[in-house]
Amino acid sequence: MTGTHTETIPLVDETQLRVTIAEPDGAVRGGVVVLHESRGITSRTQAIVAALAGEGWLAVAPHLYHRDDPGIDEQTGDEEAVDRAVAKISGESVLADSDAAFGILAERGIGSDRMGVVGFDLGATAALVVAAQRSLGAVVTVSAAGVSTSLSTGLPALVDVVGELTCPWLGLYGERGDPVDPADVDRLREAAHASGRVVDVVVYPSREHRFDADERAAEQPDPLDEGNSEEATKMEARSRVLNWLDTHLR
């Protein structure tokens, strides 16, 4: 069984970063840093980390809210606390926390070409910021917002950074219920092509943007387990994510 645990590591800014880590049972194929949604490290995020490890990836999820509100991970029903935490996220803090997670992967002998970053909502926005400034093998995002207008004063608008992507990008959106305007999705796709990297942006018709799981459900299924996903969209999205990592993290 895949082992998942949370540990704390010191950062150079004298803060303490918590990271949730899931290790494969067998050989490690590469490493994936998972950047969480606006509600923090929820059971959904933990399920994604464990599922990636089940596919052979060493998965590390940094707790991005540790500087200002370490308890946010348990405040999934407090909308005001979530909004305050999101407002304080910056490009610098995301890069510092992601670098610490990449450091864990490097300590296990994983080179940057076998490192990827996967993000959801807020984490998707953060993942594109990271992938524009760090040499990586691949980036996957689910509903990356803040395209034309930044999500917080410390984060750039994504159209201003995706032209500098260092690696192939897979972006997933839902046509129904996604907070990102379809015109912004098109704008972001076009801007990303200026990077010269492989870009695949998929919009699923008539699907909610959180098609992979219900983050408020009391019990979370493995979001990468085909057996727990009845809808064809979920199975197709699962295959896209795993194939993207398989193809580009070599």
Task: Return the pLDDT at 218.
Answer: 47
Average pLDDT of span 137-144: 95
pTM value > 0.95? no
DSSP lists the bridge partners of residue 10 as 16
**Per-residue pLDDT tens digits for 123-140:** 999 999 999 999 999 999
- Residue 52's domain comprises 3-248
* Residue 200 to residue 191: CA distance in whole angstroms: 12
Task: Return the pLDDT at 79.
Answer: 78
Task: Return the pLDDT at 215.
Answer: 47
Q: What is the total count of domains within the chain?
A: 1
Average pLDDT of span 12-41: 92
**Per-residue pLDDT tens digits for 70-85:** 556 655 567 787 888 8
The CATH number for 118's domain is 3.40.50.1820
Range in 83-97, 138-152, 208-222, 228-242 the model is least confident about: 208-222
Burial of 231 (0-12, 13-18, 19+ CB in 10 A): exposed
54 pLDDT more than 80 = yes
* Residue 112 to residue 95: CA distance in whole angstroms: 15
Share of the chain above pLDDT 70, in %: 84
229 pLDDT more than 80 = no
Average pLDDT of span 201-207: 80
H or E element at residue 103: helix 91-107
